[in-house]
Structures are given as C-alpha cells and as structure tokens.
Amino acid sequence: MNAKWQTIAHQCLDGAESGTMTFPQIVATLLEHGFDGYTIDLRLGTATYYLRTGEAIELEAAKSATPVAERFDAAVVKEAIREAQALVPGYTYKGFCAKISGAGCAGYIVSFPGRRVLYYGRTAETHTEHFPTAPT
C-alpha cells in the first residue's frame, strides 16, 4: 500500500471532520490521487477509501453521538444534504452526520465514476444524490 494514499485518505477524512475541506474539495483531491470512491459507516464509525487499483484503506472515523434511527427519513437526509451544499451558517460535518443518523441513515457510498452518493438506512432503504453539474 502506497503511504501517500494513506496520507491523502487521512487528510480528506480529517478535512471533513475538522471543517477545513468541503465535499467538492475532498472529491477533487481523491480523484487526483487515483481514488475511485469511499464509504462512511455511521454505525461502526469507519471510513473506507477505495483505489482504482482494487486496494482499500479503512480508517476510524468520528462516531456520531446520535444513534441511527430505525426509520429512514429521506426528506430529512435530503434537507441535510442541501444544508451541506449551501454551507449554511453553523454547518459542520459532525452536525451533518448527527442529522442523517437521526433520520435513519446508517451510512453512505460515494462513487466517483457514478458521480453520486447513495445514502442507506438500516432496512436498506436508499436515497441517491447525484453530484451537482457545473453550469455551462
């Protein structure tokens, strides 16, 4: 495993958790360094970063103090996504994770080739969020 990949994955996770990197910055950084996507498991508190080579890097992520609710509420998940996209005053990744956990989101999968994020609940209900397209 390339030590540089480990460093990049750590930097992106730390950047999300500390608020020093936005989602678009994280995606750009990971793409630039050969990553294919990543998953966040809100129940385990893990982040797994996948490389195009088939290798993966699993890191311990900050675990949400909010337990994952039994019922998946896609409307609340979408609301949290919109708040993140707009970087509303007071937005934090920690707050985002707490909100989606409370809405029954157990984790999410980010696919760079698919240009989407799949949010899933404990019952495998899902919400798919496509990456915003740049204005032409």
Kindly list the structural domains of the chain, giving each domain's residue range(s) and its CATH number in brackets, ordered by start: 3-130 (3.30.1810.10)
pLDDT tens column, 8-51: 999 999 999 999 998 889 999 999 999 999 999 999 999 999 99
What's this model's pTM, rounded to 2 decimal places? 0.92
Cross-strand pairs, 118: 109, 128
DSSP letter string over 7-74?
HHHHHHHHHHHHTSS-HHHHHHHHHHTTEEEEEEETTTTEEEEEETTS-EEEEE-PPPSSPPPSS--H
CA distances 46 to 83, 88, 104, Å, are 23, 26, 17
Helix 93-102 with 3-18: angle, nearest 10 deg = 80
pLDDT of residue 64: 82
**pLDDT bucket at 87, cuts 50 / 70 / 90:** confident
